[in-house]
């Protein structure tokens, strides 16, 4: 199914600012759908009619549309209503035969104009539906139309909760028609409260008008035992955080807000959605949710990540200590072979330490391998070049790798570059060792190529070659090929699949 952006460009096209406004609306209209107990459909005027470009179903009631209507074209009857909303720039509600006084109708008639021409009920399947069309206004211009459709087939008296929900929805519908909703800086964070989690209504002076049962439970867990209705939300919040009544900061503003309230070991996330009329603040809808367990788990994850980073830091320190001991030992041995073996061991340990140093600075167990490989190349070339003037060059980017893949690949590159410097330029002279990287999503090809003397009897069977072959096959799950370079020298090509997280296998 095409996205809202694709549909709007196909049937519009819309200016970028208007498209962003519609995306902001559909990104936060679940609140409106849940408060209204209604399906919402966003219609875009196109040549000769209207096209549905977005749809939202309520989580507080039954849906009208079982099928997806996005991409469908409005019927002639719907087009007339949608066009009327655009022309008159105000919400229009269809007046059906059951009328506004029906006990099942939760929508009040205030701030809404009843359209007289069509007085017959509209049926979808086996149930009747009340419809309303609302112009979506941006910068004083209607750019689209939002329709809401509520199932009114059940014959019963609406509850106090339903009436308060729908009254709040009507206030927000009026804001949509005046270009005051969606709220430009509204945001939803971790554990974002939904309408069903708990809802409160307050007036412009922050006096509590209504508290849903779930919201009342949240207040009780925070320690508010008295009936909050009729009390000032500012005084309630002041008592919760230990401030004197009258000294708490204002709770309401024209901008939406979000706060975590903690008291008695309970954390409640509160999201404030201001209600305005022609720019004047008239009240707010507060959504609240008990997020105590969620915040506890988040704190545990933060602690766990900090512990993991500390472990990597200590491992890095220990490995650097081991490398220093090997370096000291190599200076005291008289055998040149022993000194070379200790130097190689020191270089391998130092390479692993570089990876752990990078992991100690990253909370998600991944490594920016480009930073690591530059240090590896510098360390390897400096240690192995001796009197030769050999430079190392990195072409391309590795990106981020998981810890397991980064450690193995760093060791492989250390061995290959060391081998290229020590054996490719064993006769002296200067040259270049290039590490060429080609990454396509999770596929990685690395070529280490030098312009030295080239292969004579193949890669050999030394310890370095064995380490490289074992790591590539077992740890990286890839393949490796040694061959002569196109203009002399040696080329070693590694192909592997990249692991992107700590839980993925490397090969």
Mean pLDDT calculated for residue range 120-128: 58
Burial class (CB in 10 A: 0-12, 13-18, 19+), 48: exposed
Task: Tell me the C-alpha distance between 57 and 480, whole Å.
Answer: 54
- pLDDT higher than threshold 80 for residue 231: yes
Mean pLDDT calculated for residue range 223-239: 84
Q: How confident is the model at residue 391 (pLDDT cuts 50, 70, 90)?
A: confident
- pLDDT higher than threshold 70 for residue 186: no
Residue 35's pLDDT is what? Answer: 94
- pLDDT higher than threshold 60 for residue 362: yes
Task: Tell me the C-alpha distance between 449 and 466, whole Å.
Answer: 19
Residue 118's pLDDT is what? Answer: 41
Mean pLDDT calculated for residue range 486-506: 71
- CA dihedral 162→165→168→174, nearest 10 degrees, is -70
Task: Tell me the C-alpha distance between 112 and 294, whole Å.
Answer: 41
- pLDDT higher than threshold 60 for residue 108: no
Highest averaged pLDDT of the listed ranges 15-19, 387-391, 410-414: 15-19
Instruction: Report helix, strand or coil for 225.
Output: coil
Residue 208's pLDDT is what? Answer: 92
Q: Print the SS3 string covering 400-442.
A: EEEHHHHHHHHHHHHHHHHHHHHHHCCCCCEEEEEEEEEEECC
Task: Tell me the C-alpha distance between 288 and 233, whole Å.
Answer: 13
Strands (E) across 21-140 are located at: 39-46, 49-56, 92-94, 113-115, 122-124, 127-138
Residue 127 near residue 153 (C-beta atoms within 8 A): yes
Strand 400-402 and strand 430-440: the pairing is: unpaired
Least confident of 181-185, 221-225, 427-431: 427-431
Residue 42's pLDDT is what? Answer: 95
Residue 242's pLDDT is what? Answer: 55
Q: How confident is the model at residue 487 (pLDDT cuts 50, 70, 90)?
A: low
What's the whole-number average pLDDT of the chain?
80
Other C-beta atoms closer than 10 Å to the C-beta of 62 total 14
Instruction: Report helix, strand or coil for 40.
Output: strand
**CA-wise closest residue to 481 among 359, 472, 489:** 472
Strand 208-211 and strand 127-138: the pairing is: unpaired
Task: Tell me the C-alpha distance between 257 and 251, whole Å.
Answer: 9
Write down the pTM of the prediction. 0.63
Q: Give me the percent of the chain exceeding a pLDDT of 90.
A: 22
Q: Rounded to 5 degrees, what angle do the CA atoms 442, 444, 447 make?
A: 175
Task: Tell me the C-alpha distance between 197 and 195, whole Å.
Answer: 5
Mean pLDDT calculated for residue range 117-144: 74
Q: How confident is the model at residue 258 (pLDDT cuts 50, 70, 90)?
A: confident
- pLDDT higher than threshold 80 for residue 472: yes
Residue 308's pLDDT is what? Answer: 74
How do residues 174-183 score in pLDDT, each as one tens digit?
A: 999 999 999 8
**385 vs 90, residue with greater confidence:** 90
- pLDDT higher than threshold 90 for residue 39: yes
Q: How confident is the model at residue 305 (pLDDT cuts 50, 70, 90)?
A: confident
């Amino acid at each position: 199914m095409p996205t809202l952006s694709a549909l709007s460009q196909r049937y519009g096209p819309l200016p970028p600012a208007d498209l962003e406004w519609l995306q902001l609306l559909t990104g936060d209209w679940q609140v409106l759908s849940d408060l209204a107990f209604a399906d919402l459909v966003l219609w875009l005027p196109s040549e000769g009619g209207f096209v549905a470009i977005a749809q939202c179903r309520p989580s507080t009631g039954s849906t009208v549309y079982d099928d997806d209507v996005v991409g469908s074209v409005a019927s002639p009857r719907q087009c007339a209503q949608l066009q009327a909303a655009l022309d008159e720039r105000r919400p229009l509600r269809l007046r059906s035969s059951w009328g506004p006084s029906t006990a099942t109708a939760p929508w009040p008639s205030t701030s809404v104009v009843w359209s007289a021409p069509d007085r017959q009920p509209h049926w979808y399947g086996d149930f009747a539906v009340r419809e309303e069309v609302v112009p979506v206004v941006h910068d004083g211009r209607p750019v689209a139309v939002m329709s809401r459709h509520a199932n009114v087939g059940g014959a019963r008296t609406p509850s106090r909760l339903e009436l308060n929900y729908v009254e709040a929805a009507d206030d927000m519908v009026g804001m949509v028609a005046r270009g005051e909703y969606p709220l430009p800086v509204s945001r939803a964070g971790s554990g974002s409260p939904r309408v069903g989690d708990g809802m409160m209504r307050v007036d412009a002076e922050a006096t509590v008008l209504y508290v849903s049962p779930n919201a009342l439970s949240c207040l009780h867990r925070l320690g508010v035992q008295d009936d909050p209705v009729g009390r000032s939300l500012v005084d309630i919040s002041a008592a919760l955080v230990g401030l004197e009544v009258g000294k708490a900061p204002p709770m309401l503003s024209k901008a939406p807000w979000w706060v975590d309230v903690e008291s008695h070991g309970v954390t409640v996330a509160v999201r404030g959605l201001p209600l305005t009329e022609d720019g004047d603040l008239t009240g707010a809808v507060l959504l609240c949710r008990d997020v105590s367990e969620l915040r506890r788990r988040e704190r545990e994850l933060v602690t766990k990540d900090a512990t993991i980073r500390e472990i990597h830091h200590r491992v890095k320190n220990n490995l650097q200590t081991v490398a220093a001991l090997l370096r000291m030992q190599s200076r005291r041995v008289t055998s040149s072979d022993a000194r070379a073996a200790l130097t190689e061991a020191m270089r391998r340990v130092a390479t692993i330490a570089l990876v752990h140093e990078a992991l100690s600075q990253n909370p998600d167990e991944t490594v920016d391998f480009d930073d690591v490989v530059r240090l590896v190349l510098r360390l390897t070339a400096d240690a192995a070049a001796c009197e030769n003037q050999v430079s190392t060059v990195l072409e391309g980017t590795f990106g981020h790798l998981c810890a397991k893949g980064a450690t193995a690949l760093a060791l492989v590159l250390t061995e290959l570059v060391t081998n290229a410097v020590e054996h490719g330029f064993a006769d002296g002279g200067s040259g270049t060792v290039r590490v060429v990287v080609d990454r396509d999503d999770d596929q990685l090809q690395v070529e280490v190529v030098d312009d030295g003397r080239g292969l004579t009897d193949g890669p050999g069977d030394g310890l370095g070659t064995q380490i490289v072959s074992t790591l590539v096959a077992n740890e990286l799950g890839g393949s490796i090929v040694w061959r002569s370079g196109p203009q002399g020298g040696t080329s070693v090509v590694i192909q592997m699949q990249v692991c992107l997280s700590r839980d993925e296998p490397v090969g």
